[in-house]
Structure 1
Amino acid sequence: MAKMELIATAAFGLEAVVARELRELGYDDQSVEDGRVIFRGDERAICRANLWLRSAERVLVKVGSFPATTFEELFQGTKALPWPDWLPEKAEFPVEGKSVRSKLFSVSDCQAIAKKAIVEKMKERYRRSWFDEKGPRYTIEVSLLKDVATLTIDTSGAGLHKRGYRDLVGQAPLKETLAAAMIQLSFWRHDRVLLDPFCGTGTIPIEAAMIGRNLAPGRNRTFAAEQWGQIPASLWQQVREEAHSLAALDRELRITGTDIDEAALSLARRHARKAGVDNAIHLQRQPMSESRSRFKYGHLICNPPYGERLGERQEVERLYREMGKVFSALDTWSFYVLTSHPGFEALFGRKADKKRKLYNGRIQCNYYQFYGPKPPRREEAAETSEKA
């Protein structure tokens, strides 16, 4: 199988997390840019990246890139690319677009020109004057950044955050990809305790359980490229069988999610069942103020309320002060908190060891990381033995 350039797109701040995931999958030939990781791989890489990436948004095939400061350059550059190698005669190929700091700033015009150029290229190969587009879907994007056009085809279809377990959501849901990234940035391991005292509909505990049991996040969904002739169904089947063989389905985990909202917890239980990890997570109704643990070492990872709405700010600030007092009792634990409140550290009563700018949807946040002491090896071994 010939290698090609592939792109794993990522939310701002998560590029390094996605790059690390790709390296763990064996794709070391990569470069990291804002919002994406470019890597080289074959058809199997398309399957494996879609199935396994936890924090990426999509996996794209890069068809080509070239400078374009005029519509004529955009047309000719697009037409010169090998579209018939990808698009079958009956392909459905909508064209989407975006433009950042480029002379060609009209996205709708760029989309129309790219579409026309692709059709002209297809005419040369298939000897047809029109295409009914009733076959497999190949979503094309023309992206202009600093006067360079990049043309890609989306292999994922629905965004990779759509794992298939969350059909019902509560208020202000945390995206699955961001929850997975928060866990990965904490370097939590399956033999450690994890607590989320604001678990809501369960996204952080569920993603942690999937990581802890090495369950491929895309195992219960389909992808756009599964309908493409370039990738045989047998290859998708092989990759899925590989994922199944690597799953640690019987691994015991110590993951707890608590919340004061019983309706949200009901959704969390439903989502955990659909994700196949309901027996790996303990969910219960409990206020954050009662957060306790009999384990000396652990990870507390949470996405508390931000106080973005008018009138909520004072209530949230009281909550953050209370968090500081409650969490201080877990003095050998590590804490990881995502919030958009700029004064969180002062309210919490402690300066973070590290913070990272992330986006929860369109809300700019900081991911505050407070490191507890490393457990002694003897203690860590004892906890692992107790768990076993």
Structure 2
Amino acid sequence: MKNLDFLAVCSFGLEGILKNELKNLGYNIIDVKNGKVFFNGTEEDIARTNINLRTADRIYIQLKKFKALDFDDIYNKINEICWPEYIPSDGRIVVNASSKKSQLKSERSLQSVGKKAVIDAMKTKYNINSFPETGDEYNIKIDINKDEALLLFDTTGEGLNRRGYRIEAGEAPIKETLAAALVFISGWNPDFYLVDPFCGSGTIVIEAAMIANNIPPGLYREFSSKNWEFVDSKIWERAEREAKQNIKNKDLKIMGTDMNHEMIEISKRNASRAGVGRYIDFEVKNIKRFKYPSEKGFIITNPPYGERMQEQKIRNLYETMGNKFRKKPGWAQYIITSFRDFREAYGRREDKNRKLYNGNIQCYLYQYYYKRKRNR
């Protein structure tokens, strides 16, 4: 097996959670930066990480790291790679680039020079003058930050948040990767209830059920690297077989409620596609009729906020939530929102908050821990 350097990227604020996921899978962490976790492995780990990671957005092979002060540096370093090891002669080559705080600022020029370097290397190795690019797509990324360039080879294809179950969704849904992260952050124990009173298309409760029963998020979707010639198909077969063997069938206490009947029906269908429909109870219910199903449990929710409602309506909603949720001290609450005056409207100072991003929307996760009863 060939040793490879990998980069798993994630939303800002989730690096520590992704690092823990990788460590729990047995990987050696090399470095952690904003939105990036570096680790090493082999071809086997292309399959394992894509299938199993819940909070990563994408998995790259890091082919090279170098100083990039001019376009000659870009061309020469990329041209040095033996690209036929990765890309067949009919491969469709796509080069993307990003540059921050660096001398080379034109991303379009970086893409153009990068692709020329790849094509020229391919011409030499394959001894041909033109490439039809009629085959599978191969994505290369040049990522430059403070003149330090990373040359990355995308193993994922469509982002890892695309699990495949959420064919239907409501307005401004939470990303699947972020929903999984909220469950991890909460420390939810599957022996306790978990309720999302604004479940929308069901993402949070579906991710929770998948986590509790160790259902891999990428088990039933496709990845660009599945078609690569240099990754033996048996590697994918082994990774999928291992993932299936680790799935549990534990009864769970998970509830998703929403005032919108159509969204509840969508949630049920999404849960069924994810293979967790039997673990979740869905119900049409207005927050004003919310009742706790037990003395202890967890609320994890993504209620409507600024992008979806007028400000006064949001404030009134959060006041109602505060009045409802504070009645049970045995329940922990994890509420993510971009509404700046949440604390004031909710009527209670959080135990902790955490800045996170739902796509490009900056949010805060307000965390209220459950209170243990004191012996008198």
Q: How many angstroms apart in 1 are the aligned matches of 2:59 and 2:367?
A: 29
What TM-score, normalized by structure 1, do the two folds share? Answer: 0.94
Deviation of the 1:143 alpha carbon: 1.2
Query: SS in structure 1 opposite 2:92?
Result: coil
Deviation of the 1:131 alpha carbon: 1.3
Partner of 1:289: 288
Query: SS in structure 1 opposite 2:93?
Result: coil
Query: SS in structure 1 opposite 2:137?
Result: coil
Partner of 1:185: 185
Partner of 1:357: 355
Q: How many angstroms apart in 2 are the aligned matches of 1:69 and 1:320?
A: 51
CA contact (8 A) 1:92 1:138 kept: yes
Residue identity opposite 1:333 in structure 2: W
Deviation of the 1:172 alpha carbon: 1.0
Partner of 2:16: 16
CA contact (8 A) 1:90 1:135 kept: yes
Partner of 1:261: 260
Which structure 1 residue ranges, 5 or more long, are not aligned?
Answer: 377-388
Partner of 1:205: 205
Query: SS in structure 2 opposite 1:48?
Result: helix
Partner of 2:149: 149
Q: Deviations over 1:105-159 (max 9, x none)?
A: 1111100000001111112211111111223322111111111221111101110
> Matches of residues 227-376 of structure 1 in structure 2 within 5 Å?
227-248=227-248, 250-308=249-307, 312-373=310-371
Partner of 1:174: 174
Instruction: Report sequence identity in percent.
Output: 39
CA contact (8 A) 1:63 1:82 kept: no
Q: How many angstroms apart in 1 are the aligned matches of 2:219 and 2:373?
A: 34
Residue identity opposite 2:270 in structure 1: H
- Sort the Cα spacing of 1:375 and 1:83 in 2 relative to 1 into closer, same or farther, 3 A: farther
Q: Deviations over 1:35-80 (max 9, x none)?
A: 1101101111111100011111000111112111211121112112
CA contact (8 A) 1:307 1:315 kept: no
Query: SS in structure 2 opposite 1:18?
Result: helix
Query: SS in structure 2 opposite 1:153?
Result: strand
Partner of 1:116: 116
Deviation of the 1:90 alpha carbon: 2.1
Residue identity opposite 2:67 in structure 1: P
Deviation of the 1:307 alpha carbon: 2.4
Deviation of the 1:374 alpha carbon: 5.4
Residue identity opposite 1:292 in structure 2: K
Query: SS in structure 2 opposite 1:243?
Result: helix
> Matches of residues 82-161 of structure 1 in structure 2 within 5 Å?
82-161=82-161
Partner of 1:381: none
Deviation of the 1:99 alpha carbon: 1.1
Q: How many angstroms apart in 2 are the aligned matches of 1:84 and 1:145?
A: 28
Q: How many angstroms apart in 1 are the aligned matches of 2:28 and 2:234?
A: 25
Q: How many angstroms apart in 1 are the aligned matches of 2:369 and 2:184?
A: 14
Q: How many angstroms apart in 1 are the aligned matches of 2:75 and 2:232?
A: 32
CA contact (8 A) 1:292 1:330 kept: no
Which structure 2 residue ranges, 5 or more long, are not aligned?
Answer: none
CA contact (8 A) 1:190 1:213 kept: no
How large is the RMSD of aligned CA atoms in angstroms? 1.4
Q: How many angstroms apart in 2 are the aligned matches of 1:125 and 1:78?
A: 14
Residue identity opposite 2:193 in structure 1: V
Partner of 2:218: 218
Q: How many angstroms apart in 2 are the aligned matches of 1:96 and 1:307?
A: 33
Partner of 2:34: 34
Q: How many angstroms apart in 2 are the aligned matches of 1:374 and 1:76?
A: 62
Residue identity opposite 1:356 in structure 2: R
Deviation of the 1:375 alpha carbon: 8.5
Q: Deviations over 1:285-312 (max 9, x none)?
A: 0111222223211110000011236x71
Query: SS in structure 2 opposite 1:20?
Result: helix
CA contact (8 A) 2:29 2:37 kept: no
Q: How many angstroms apart in 2 are the aligned matches of 1:15 and 1:374?
A: 30
Partner of 1:382: none
Query: SS in structure 2 opposite 1:94?
Result: strand
Q: How many angstroms apart in 1 are the aligned matches of 2:194 and 2:214?
A: 16
Q: How many angstroms apart in 2 are the aligned matches of 1:141 and 1:374?
A: 50
Query: SS in structure 1 opposite 2:6?
Result: strand
CA contact (8 A) 2:169 2:200 kept: no
Deviation of the 1:203 alpha carbon: 0.5
Q: How many angstroms apart in 1 are the aligned matches of 2:33 and 2:62?
A: 14
Q: How many angstroms apart in 2 are the aligned matches of 1:151 and 1:253?
A: 44
Residue identity opposite 1:262 in structure 2: H
Q: How many angstroms apart in 2 are the aligned matches of 1:54 and 1:375?
A: 34
Query: SS in structure 1 opposite 2:330?
Result: coil
Deviation of the 1:88 alpha carbon: 2.1
